[in-house]
Amino acid sequence: MPYLLIILAAIIFIILISCVRIVPQAHAYVIERLGAYITTWNTGFHLKAPIIDRVARNVNLKEQVVDFPPQPVITKDNVTMQIDTVIFFQITDPRLYCYGVENPIMAIENLTATTLRNVIGDLELDETLTSRETINTKMRAALDVATDPWGIKINRVELKNIIPPAAIKEAMEKQMKAERERREAILIAEGQKKSTILIAEGKKQSAILDAEADKQAAILKAEAEKQSQILQAEGQAEAIRQVQQATADGLTMLKDADPNSAVLQLKSLDAFAKAADGQATKIIIPSDIQGIAGLTKSIAEVAAKN
């Protein structure tokens, strides 16, 4: 009997321990009683009724990411391409997630494929390649509405890869190469244009500077010639003044020396000699030059007697 009591106590203890549940953060437990949903346990300590209650499902409430394989889609201009998508979703209602759909991930994948075909079917190839943000927004709105009854919220939808056919890809590469060459030619032409403009402006500035330099040189040359002429005129005036001063000084000295008739005659003859030494073809001699000489002699004799 004691052994039976010990075994019975151990069984009861194990059953009680199994009824204790601690729900971790960002998780939820869906609880069923006799196969029917009764409640959802959130984070914390919980107790369930033994035997009749069970944890039907442990639901992860974190945001989850699903990368679906590429799906073939046809654009509006009948181009078939492969597109793979990435879905970011989060479970908001564990009860609906458990009982709303049999396989939620497979349901989201099929729903994503059909929605993607509908959206891409309204776009042409060029629009598909350049309108990723528009496609993402449309798909997120459509998927969010469709998955709401399943307790799932679609946070983001991203087109991971868009793979066009090989022929289309080759044509696009040729087009991109031609566009790059066109841009390169435009840049080269613009560079040459700017270079020509800069060279012309440089020549213009150089011509302006040369003209300004010539102008300054002409002004300085004129100033120099003016100063030279002024100095030359001042020199000539000074020479004339000195000659006149010398003549005046000579006359003063001659007067102070009281010259005799012989000196006067010599001076007169010297003056006539200088006059005759010129290039004149005629020389007019005063008729009274002898009388002047005799008068000079008489004056000299009277001065001697006295």
Residues 171-219 have pLDDT tens digits of 777 888 888 888 989 999 998 999 889 998 888 888 888 888 888 888 8
Long-range contacts of 167-174 (CB under 8 A, 24+ apart): 168/79, 168/81, 168/125
Q: Compute CA 100 distance to the chain's CA centroid, rounded to the nearest angstrom.
A: 58
pLDDT recorded at residue 272: 54
Residues 227-260 have pLDDT tens digits of 888 888 888 888 888 878 877 776 677 666 655 5
Is 93:151 a contact under the CB 8 Å cutoff?
yes
The span from the CA of 178 to the CA of 32, in Å, is 66
pLDDT recorded at residue 247: 75
Between the alpha carbon of residue 90 and those of residues 42, 60, 61, 87, 109, the distances in Å are 16, 9, 6, 10, 15
pLDDT recorded at residue 237: 82
- Of 18, 13, 90, the residue nearest 54 (C-alpha): 18
pTM for this entry = 0.55
pLDDT recorded at residue 303: 45
- Digit-by-digit pLDDT tens for the chain (306 residues) are 677 878 888 887 787 887 888 999 999 999 999 989 999 999 999 988 888 888 999 999 999 999 999 989 988 888 888 999 999 999 999 999 999 888 899 999 999 999 999 999 888 888 888 888 999 999 999 999 999 999 999 999 999 888 888 887 787 778 888 888 889 899 999 989 998 899 988 888 888 888 888 888 888 888 888 888 888 888 888 888 887 887 777 667 766 665 555 555 556 555 555 555 555 555 555 555 555 555 455 545 544 555
The span from the CA of 223 to the CA of 282, in Å, is 47
Backbone angles phi, psi at 200, to 5 degrees: -60, -45
Length of the chain in residues, anyone?
306
pLDDT recorded at residue 299: 47
pLDDT recorded at residue 301: 53
